[in-house]
A and B are shown apart, each in its own frame.
Chain A
Amino acid sequence: MIEYFFLFLVLVMLGSAIAVIFIRNILGAVIVVTVVSLVASLLFLFIASPDVAITEATIGAALTTVIFVLAISRTKKKIE
């Protein structure tokens, strides 16, 4: 029964990864990539590897988003 919930989560992850192709605003695309990293961290829990889940949750979801937002704020045309 829990495999169907797992399949739903994986379909959400693949849907967000496909949505990155069609989103034009870069800030929106970065937020959607955070969703991919978060569901990957849950997926590592289903594979019985809690070490990898903690590492992916801190590095993939937190640090990558911070450094992307810092890079986006430096490549804008003008500051309003």
Chain B
Amino acid sequence: MRRVISLVLILGFGFYLVTVIGKIAFPSSGEQKGSVGVAIVNNAAEQTGAANAVTSVVVLYRGFDTLGEVTVLFLAALGLSLLMRGERFIAAKIFDESFILKTGSFLLFPFITLFGLYIIVHGHLTPGGGFPGGVIIATGFFIVIMTSDIVRLRENLVSLLEGLAGLTFIGLGIVGLFGTKGSFLANFMGKGVFNTLLSAGIIPFIYAAIGVKVGSELTGAVGSMFLSPYGREENE
């Protein structure tokens, strides 16, 4: 009975989606729908010096929304750690992994970290940026934490690193506020030579801060889910 009622409701909602949203979002042939995108793509290379137009939108044109996203991710990681942290930490492994898994994860760790750093630092030249690069670095870290019995997760170091990276992000914005430009998160550095590594002003530094913050935050959050004492009958 529950499935029949939900099927009827879903079909009604689907009818609304196809008629109303389909008429709004369907592309007309050949021209762009919004004029903001046209203006940004036409002026992004000269105004910001970044080769990646999406990066210049995320950091410079809509930088305040990125600050809001960093805040929401911080709140989610905070809620996860608060819910899953008990009085003591117990490792979730019950059996020993094989020798191949332990040494393989140690061997993969420097390559994964190097690849993540490459994606963070080249955020204004190639697709990627701070968010996927930070996630790749976090993945490398918790491959080692989950399979090794020598390396342990240090919660204090991770949260200190995350706090420092967040302070760097807001500090760069405040320097723009009290500096020459006069607005929060303004681009106060020079533009540099187009399509090289040290171009586009403030973008590489903000993306480096975001990448370190996201990576350490996700390591701490997933690590607290991994080491939590809840949910097992033998741990109560």
Q: Which residues of A contact B (CB under 8 A)?
A: 49-51, 53-55, 57-59, 62-63, 66-67, 70-71, 73-75, 77-79
Contacts and interface: CB of A to CB of B under 8 A. Distances in A.
Nearest to B142: A66
B230 interface: yes
A58 to B, nearest CB: 5
Interface of B: 52, 54-55, 92, 94, 119, 127-129, 131-132, 135-136, 138-139, 142, 218, 222, 225-226, 228, 230-234
A55 B94 CA distance: 33
Contacts of A78: 233
Contacts of B129: 51
A63 B218 CA distance: 9
A74 B139 contact: no
A79 B232 CA distance: 8
Nearest to B55: A51
Contacts of A53: 127
Contact of B128 (A51, A62, A66): A51
B76 to A, nearest CB: 11
Nearest to A66: B222
Contacts of A66: 142, 222
B233 A55 contact: no
Given A54-B127, A66-B222, 5 more contacts: A54-B132, A59-B132, A73-B92, A74-B230, A79-B233
Contact of A51 (B127, B136, B139): B127
Contacts of A77: 233
Nearest to A21: B3
Given A51-B127, A67-B225, A70-B226, A58 B94 contact: no
Most chain A beta-carbon contacts within 10 A, residue among B127, B129, B138, B139: B127
